[in-house]
């Protein structure tokens, strides 16, 4: 690989870094960078952080396309690709990466343990896009991508194909990670990549298309719905045949959803949507019903019709 080590000041002048990275990552002249002044092609995996550690630099700048046949790991490094990125899998964590062109990945794009900021100015295309980023910005998202919220603390906010609370029935049990109390805590992404590398399935079901909820499931909206129901003499409301009521358990705030006296499940701010059916097919139907009813409730509250209800 042909590169040169340049100072931060020279990198500012040559590549206009302030247009791509947050100022928080600059040391005002103390850092150095690895600069590749043409396209780069790597056979196999490439952990760019190890390269940065070896040369004692803060990050990598590639003035052209980057192609990595394996896993491209950008964790703990600043990365600027002034072109397109193609890779099998891509990881970013802790710091910031910007791709000025397209990001084309045949497997996973995911945020690692310490998260990070990820920007793709054109289109991102991958089999799975796992949201564990502090912040992400994409010019566009390919319509066939499966977007996943794998962060328990996200509050189910955003547009995902699958939310965190759905992953334990969507993905095969061998990929499940459990907390010390035995509760489901997410997906083993390292194992997931290994399974995908062998062209083996990772999902229990046929994936659905990306669902757009206009941020219905934000924690703010949960507080809005819970707060509204708390003001009612009887803390419940019926919408389109579904009854939504407050049902707190063990000092945990919950919204309970019923239809014709049958409990479909509940929503809590900490755990998201929990459907109570035993069969997967019924569980999926209940979850969809809860999702739609919750959105209807938020729309009802925001419409102002509550004053006349």
What's the token pair of residue 130? 């796992």
| H-helix segments, the chain | 8-15, 48-55, 167-170, 189-197, 219-230, 280-303
Q: Reply yes or no on whether the pLDDT at 35 is more than 90.
A: yes
Count of CB atoms within 10 A of residue 260's CB? 7
Residues 126, 107 contacting (CB under 8 angstroms): yes
- In angstroms, the CA 92 to CA 67 distance is 16
The CA-based dihedral angle spanning residues 10, 16, 17, 18, taken in that order and rounded to the nearest 10 degrees = 120
Find, among 148, 164, 125, 281, the residue nearest to 210 by Cα.
148
For 92: left if phi > 0, alpha if psi spans -120 to 50, otherwise beta; the answer is beta
**Model pTM score:** 0.67
Q: What is the pLDDT of residues 187-197, one digit of tens each?
A: 899 999 999 99
Residues 127, 105 contacting (CB under 8 angstroms): yes
Model confidence at 154, pLDDT cuts 50, 70, 90, reads very low
Count of CB atoms within 10 A of residue 288's CB? 15
DSSP string, 210-261: PP--TTTT-HHHHHHHHHHHHTSSSSEEEETTEEEEE--BTTB-EEEEEETT
Please give the share of the chain, as a percent, with pLDDT higher than 70.
85
Write down the domain spans for the chain.
4-197, 219-303
* Mean pLDDT to the nearest integer, 160-183: 84
Which residues, 6+ apart, have CB-to-CB distance to 206 below 8 Å? none
Q: What is the pLDDT of residues 91-126, one digit of tens each?
A: 987 788 999 999 999 999 987 655 678 899 999 999
Q: Reply yes or no on whether the pLDDT at 165 is more than 80.
A: no
Q: Reply yes or no on whether the pLDDT at 217 is more than 80.
A: no
């Amino acid at each position: 690989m042909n590169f040169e080590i340049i100072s931060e000041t020279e990198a500012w002048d040559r590549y206009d870094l302030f247009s791509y990275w947050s100022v928080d990552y600059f040391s005002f002249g103390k850092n150095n960078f690895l600069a590749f002044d043409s396209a780069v092609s790597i056979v196999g995996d490439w952990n760019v952080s190890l390269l940065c550690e070896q040369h004692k630099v803060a990050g990598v700048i590639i003035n052209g396309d980057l192609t990595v046949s394996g896993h491209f790991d950008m964790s703990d490094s600043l990365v600027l690709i002034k072109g397109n990125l193609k890779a099998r899998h891509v990881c970013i964590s802790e710091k910031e990466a910007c791709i000025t062109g397209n990001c084309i990945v045949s497997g996973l794009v995911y945020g690692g343990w310490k998260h990070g900021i990820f920007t793709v100015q054109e289109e991102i295309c991958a089999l799975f896009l796992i949201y564990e980023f502090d912040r992400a910005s994409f010019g566009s998202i390919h319509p066939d991508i499966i977007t996943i919220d794998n962060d328990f603390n996200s509050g189910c906010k955003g547009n995902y194909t699958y939310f965190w609370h759905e992953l334990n029935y969507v993905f095969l049990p061998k990929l499940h990670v459990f907390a010390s109390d035995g509760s489901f805590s997410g997906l083993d992404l390292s194992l997931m990549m290994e399974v995908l590398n062998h062209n083996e399935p990772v999902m229990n079901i046929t994936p659905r298309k990306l669902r757009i909820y206009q941020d219905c499931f934000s924690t703010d909206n949960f507080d809005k719905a819970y707060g509204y129901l708390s003001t009612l003499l009887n803390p419940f409301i019926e919408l389109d045949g579904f009854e939504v009521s407050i049902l707190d358990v063990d000092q945990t705030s919950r919204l309970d959803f019923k239809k014709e006296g049958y409990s479909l499940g509940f929503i809590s701010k900490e755990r998201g949507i929990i459907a109570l059916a035993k069969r997967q097919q019924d569980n999926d139907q209940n979850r969809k019903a809860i999702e739609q009813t919750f959105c209807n409730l938020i729309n009802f509250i925001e419409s102002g019709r509550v004053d006349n209800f």
